Structure 1
Amino acid sequence: MPRRRIRATDAAETPLRAALRALRTELGVPEDFPPDVLAEAERAAREPTPPDHGTRADATDIPFFTVDPPTSTDLDQAMHLSRRPHGYRVRYAIADVAAFVVPGGALDAEAHRRVTTLYFPDGKTPLHPPVLSEGAASLLPDGTRPAVLWTIDLDADGNPTATDVRRALVRSRAKLDYAGVQRQIDAGTAEEPLALLKDIGLLREQREVDRGGISLDVPEQEIIERPAPDGTHTHGGTYELVYRAPLPAEGWNAQISLLTGMAAAELMLTHGTGTGTGIGTGAGILRTLPAAPDGAVGRLRRTAHALRIDWPHHVSYARLIRSLDPHRPHHAAFLQECTTLLRGAGYTPFRDGAVPDLITHAAVAAPYTHCTAPLRRLVDRYASELSLAAAAGAAPPEWVLAALDELPARMAEGTRRAGQAERGCVDIVEAALLKDRVGELFDATVVDVQEREPTVGTVQLEVPAVVARVESGNGTTLPLGERLRVRLTQADPGTAKVLFAPA
C-alpha cells in the first residue's frame, strides 16, 4: 500500500488513545527526551555553531518562503524562485541541523536512536527536541536561521546547468500552506517567486516523464474531527476518515525537493569518482531502488488488461501512470498495484572512489539522495555534510565518515518502524471508527487481489475512507477493479483488525 497520511486535531476517544499508546509501546517508541538531551538542545538553541566553525554567507536579503501543511512547525525547507535571462534560479535553504548537534554528544546519540520523526493521529514523536525542531533550527518566519543553501540554475526547459551549495544565514518571510498556494496560483494573484513554483514544477514533471521517472498520484486517507452537538471537540466529538487527493502545488513543491536530492547525488558522485577533479577521495550516500524485474512489469500489464486499461506497447510505464485518474475505480486499483514496483529502496554509501554498482533510484530514474528533511530524518544531516564537502572539493568530516557504513542499517530499521507506525495507526483508527458497525453493508472497490490466493484481497470503501482486507469465504475469486457490496465481519480496535466479506 502507498504511504497514507493520517491526521487528527485531537483523539478524544479513550479506546482510540489506549490503542495508540499500546502501539507506541509495541514499537518501542521513546516518550520524552532524556534530561541531558534537553539541556544540550537548550544550549545549542542559544548558540548554534557550524561544525567546521567556518563563516556563513549572508543570504538574509533573499525573501525565502516555506510551503507546508498549515499546522506544521518543523520546517526543513525554504525556497526562493526567480527568472534568469535564459532560464530559472532555484534557491533552496535546508535547515542546518549540524549547527546544533555536536557529533558524539547526547543530542547526536538520541537522534541515532530515534532515526526519524514518527507521526500519530494524536501527536508526533520528533527526531529532535521541539526547542530545535520547532524552534531554533526550524525555518520559521520569525528571524534569522543557519541553513545549507542550494542554488541551482536551470535552462528554459528545466534542466540543471549549475549547482552551488554552501552554509548561509537565511530569513524566511512567509509561512505558506498548500491550499493557500494553490488558490493564489490559480487566481493569478501570486507574486513571481511563488508563481514560478508552477512553471518550474511543470517543467520538472515533464523532465521526470522524459527520463522515465514515476510519481504515483494516489489519494491519501485523512482523519477529520466532527464536533459534538455543542460545538466542542472534547465532549462527544466523532472522527471520520476521508480521501484527500494531493493538490498540484504539492507535486510542484515535491519536484523542488527531488531536484535538490538529484543535484546532491551528482555532486557526491562527481567528487567521489574524481570526475573533473582527479581527487577520487570523496564519499556519499545515495537513496537507491533497483529496477523492477521483467516479471513484475509483465504482471502489471496483465493487471491493466484485467482492469480494461489500455496500455499500448509503445507507451512507457511512466507515461501511462500520468494518464490515469485516481478517482476512477479501475484506475485507482491499478495505481495500488503499481506500488509493488516501488518496494526495496535502501541507502547505499560509498567512499574513496569506490562507487557502487547501483547508483540510481528506479522511481526517480536518476541518482538521488535524501538531503532536504534533516529535522525529521537522520540521514539528511549527513547528506548535507557530504554535499558541502563535495562542492568545496574537500574530504568529508571524520564524524560523517565514521557513521557512513552503519547509516543504511540504522535508516532501514527507522524506516521499518515508521512504516509499522503508519500502518498500525491507520488500522487502529479504521477499527475504532467501524467497531459499532459490524454486520453492515458498504459499497467498495476491489483494489488488490493476492496472486496466489485470489479469494483474498483489499477493498477500498467509498464512505468512510477505509482500505482493508477482504476474504471470500466461499472460494469465489475476487473481481479486481470491480465495485463490490461488502459486509463488515470484524472491527476490533484492540487488535487493529478490520475484515470484510463479499455480501
Structure 2
Amino acid sequence: MPRRQMHMTGADGAALRAALRELRTKLDAPGDFPAEVLAEAEHAAGHPRLPDVDRTDIPFFTIDPPGSVDLDQAMHLARRSAGGYRVHYAIADVAAFVTPGGPLDAEAHRRVTTLYFPDGKIPLHPAALSEGAASLLPDQTRPALVWRLDLDGDGRIETTDVLRALVRSRARLDYAGAQQAIDTRTAEEPLALLEDIGRLREALERERGGISLNVPEQEVVAQDGSYALAYRAPLPADGWNAQISLMTGMAAADLMLATGQGILRTLPSAPDGAVGRLRRAAKALRIDWPHHVPYAELVRSLDPHRPAHAAFLQECTGLLRGAGYTAFTGGRSPDPAIHSAVAAPYAHCTAPLRRLVDRYAGELCVAAAAGAEPPPWAVAALDALPERMAQGTRLANTAERECVDLVEAAVLKDRVGETFDATVIDVKDREPLVGTVHLEDPAVVGRIRSTEELPLGDRIRVRLTEADPGTAKVLFAPA
C-alpha cells in the first residue's frame, strides 16, 4: 500500500527544510545516485530485455494517488464466459532493466526501499527507470510480469499463471476518480468490476479471519502557499484495489510454497494479552464489543470518521507489529509461513519499483509457473534478504514517523500555550500519566503528559506546552 502522501511548497520555511536535511543525515539516508548507477540506468532504460509475449491488446489501467509516476501495477478485470472473473494484473518488470551484480543492483540492495519525505522522496531506483522506462505509464509499451488469476463466482482463485509480456496501460486513474465513477455507475466494466471482485474478496477475507484496518492517515498537504495537516480515511476503492494486490500476493506465496523456495511476508499471531488489552481499550472508548463477536468482525464494523472508532483502530495497529520476511530454499517448509492479518501465506510481489524483495518474489513466481528453475542470482540472495528488508523497513518507518513529527511541530510552533479539543487515543500500560491525543483541527497526533491518570477514549481540553521543529517535539498537557 502507498505510504502517506506528503507535499511541501517553497514557502514552508527555512527551519523545517533545515530540520528535514538534518533528519536525512541522522538517519544516514541515501543521497544522490553514484554516477555509474545513473549511467547504467540510462543505458538500461533504452535497452531493456524484452519478452517475446505481447499482451498490449489488453486495455490495462492503473489506480494510484494523484500525481504518482512510479506506477508498479496495472489491472484489467473481466467476466468469464463460463462464469466467474478473470483478473489480469501487470507488475513492472524491474529485472528487465537490472543486471544482477551490477552497480544498479548493488545500489538497490543498499537502499532496499523508497523513502518518503515531505520535500521529496529518495527512490529505490533512478528516475530514468522508476518514473520512466520501467513505470507502467499510460500509452507506453512496457515489459511486465503479467498475472492471470481466474476466479469463480465467489471470488476464489481457480487457476493462476504469471509470465513475462509486453503491456500497454490505457488510463491512469486516482482513487477519488475511480470511486466517483463506480458510485455514479459511469465506470466501464473493467473498472466497475473492481467493486464486485473487491467485495467478494473482502467477504473471503472475513471468512478466513483476515483483517484490514481502515486507519485514518495523516497527510501533509499544500494550503494557500504553505502547508497543513489533514486526516484521510481510506475510500472503499482503496480497499478494493488493495484486495487485488493481496490476492496476487497470496497466489505468489502459493506458487513459491509449491516449489519449496521463496520468500514470504509473515506476521506471528498476536502475543498473549494483546486482545485482552484491546477489550479494555474498547470499554474505555465506549465501543460495544460483545464476547461472541470476533475481533476481525468488530474491526470491520467501525467507522474511521468517528474519533472513538479512529482511536480504537489506532490501538489495533499494535497487533500488526512484528511483521517480517521468511525465506526458504531446498524444499523445506518455512516457519513461520502465515501472515496472521492476512490469515494465509502471503508474499510481497506487487511493488518492485519501490521495494527490493518484490523483484525476487516475481522472478521466483515466473519460474514456478513455467515449471522451470529460477535463475541462480534469485535463489542465492534469499538467505540475506529477510534481514536486509527488515533494516530497510525500519528505516522507512522511522523516516515516515519523524517526518510527520517535524511537520506537526512546524504547524504548531507559533501556538504554544493555546488549548485544543482532543481525544485520548492511547495510554501507556505502565505509565498511565503518559499517552497520546488525537486533535481534529489541526490534524495532529501528539504525546501528552499529565499529573493524573489519563482517561482513554475521553474528549478533553489540552494545552500545547512544546512545539519545536528543530527537534520534532510536540507535547501537550491537560488544560
Deviations 1:382-428 (A, max 9, x none): 00011111112222211011111110111001000001100110000
How far residue 294 of structure 1 moved from its aligned partner, in angstroms, is 3.2
Is residue 82 from structure 1 mapped to residue 78 from structure 2 by the alignment? yes
Is residue 484 from structure 1 mapped to residue 437 from structure 2 by the alignment? no
| Inter-partner Cα distance in structure 2 for 1:448 and 1:107 | 43
**SS of corresponding position for 1:424:** helix
Query: Where does residue 16 of structure 1 map in the other structure?
Result: 16
Sort the Cα spacing of 1:4 and 1:371 in 2 relative to 1 into closer, same or farther, 3 A.
closer
How far residue 3 of structure 1 moved from its aligned partner, in angstroms, is 9.4
Sort the Cα spacing of 1:330 and 1:180 in 2 relative to 1 into closer, same or farther, 3 A.
same
Query: Where does residue 179 of structure 1 map in the other structure?
Result: 176
Aligned AA for 2:15?
Answer: P
Per the normalisation by structure 2, the TM-score is 0.98
Query: Where does residue 136 of structure 2 map in the other structure?
Result: 139
How far residue 247 of structure 1 moved from its aligned partner, in angstroms, is 1.1
User: Are the aligned partners of 1:214 and 1:364 in contact in 2 as well (CA < 8 Å)?
Assistant: yes
How far residue 11 of structure 1 moved from its aligned partner, in angstroms, is 4.5
| Inter-partner Cα distance in structure 2 for 1:11 and 1:480 | 39
**Long gaps (5+) in structure 1:** 228-236, 273-282
Aligned AA for 1:450?
Answer: K
Query: Where does residue 100 of structure 2 map in the other structure?
Result: 103
Mapping 1:264-413, distance limit 5 Å: 264-272=252-260, 283-413=261-391
**SS of corresponding position for 2:443:** coil
| Inter-partner Cα distance in structure 2 for 1:415 and 1:361 | 17
Mapping 1:410-489, distance limit 5 Å: 410-472=388-450, 474=451, 476-489=452-465
Of 218, 235, 249, 1:247 maps to: 235
How far residue 142 of structure 1 moved from its aligned partner, in angstroms, is 2.9
Aligned AA for 1:286?
Answer: L
Deviations 1:292-327 (A, max 9, x none): 023111111122122222212221111100001122
Mapping 1:120-269, distance limit 5 Å: 120-227=117-224, 237-269=225-257
How far residue 436 of structure 1 moved from its aligned partner, in angstroms, is 0.6
| Inter-partner Cα distance in structure 2 for 1:123 and 1:4 | 13
| Inter-partner Cα distance in structure 2 for 1:243 and 1:173 | 31
User: Are the aligned partners of 1:286 and 1:349 in contact in 2 as well (CA < 8 Å)?
Assistant: yes
User: Are the aligned partners of 1:56 and 1:168 in contact in 2 as well (CA < 8 Å)?
Assistant: yes
Query: Where does residue 90 of structure 2 map in the other structure?
Result: 93
User: Are the aligned partners of 2:209 and 2:343 in contact in 1 as well (CA < 8 Å)?
Assistant: yes
Deviations 1:364-384 (A, max 9, x none): 000000000000000000000
Query: Where does residue 476 of structure 2 map in the other structure?
Result: 500
Query: Share of identical aligned residues, percent?
Result: 73
| Inter-partner Cα distance in structure 2 for 1:178 and 1:304 | 31
Sort the Cα spacing of 1:419 and 1:360 in 2 relative to 1 into closer, same or farther, 3 A.
same
Aligned AA for 1:142?
Answer: D
How far residue 9 of structure 1 moved from its aligned partner, in angstroms, is 4.5
For the aligned residue pairs, the C-alpha RMSD in angstroms reads: 1.3
Per the normalisation by structure 1, the TM-score is 0.93
| Inter-partner Cα distance in structure 2 for 1:484 and 1:477 | 13
Deviations 1:130-151 (A, max 9, x none): 0000000000013210000000
| Inter-partner Cα distance in structure 1 for 2:3 and 2:347 | 22
**Long gaps (5+) in structure 2:** none
| Inter-partner Cα distance in structure 2 for 1:441 and 1:70 | 35
Query: Where does residue 53 of structure 2 map in the other structure?
Result: 57
Count of matched residue pairs = 477
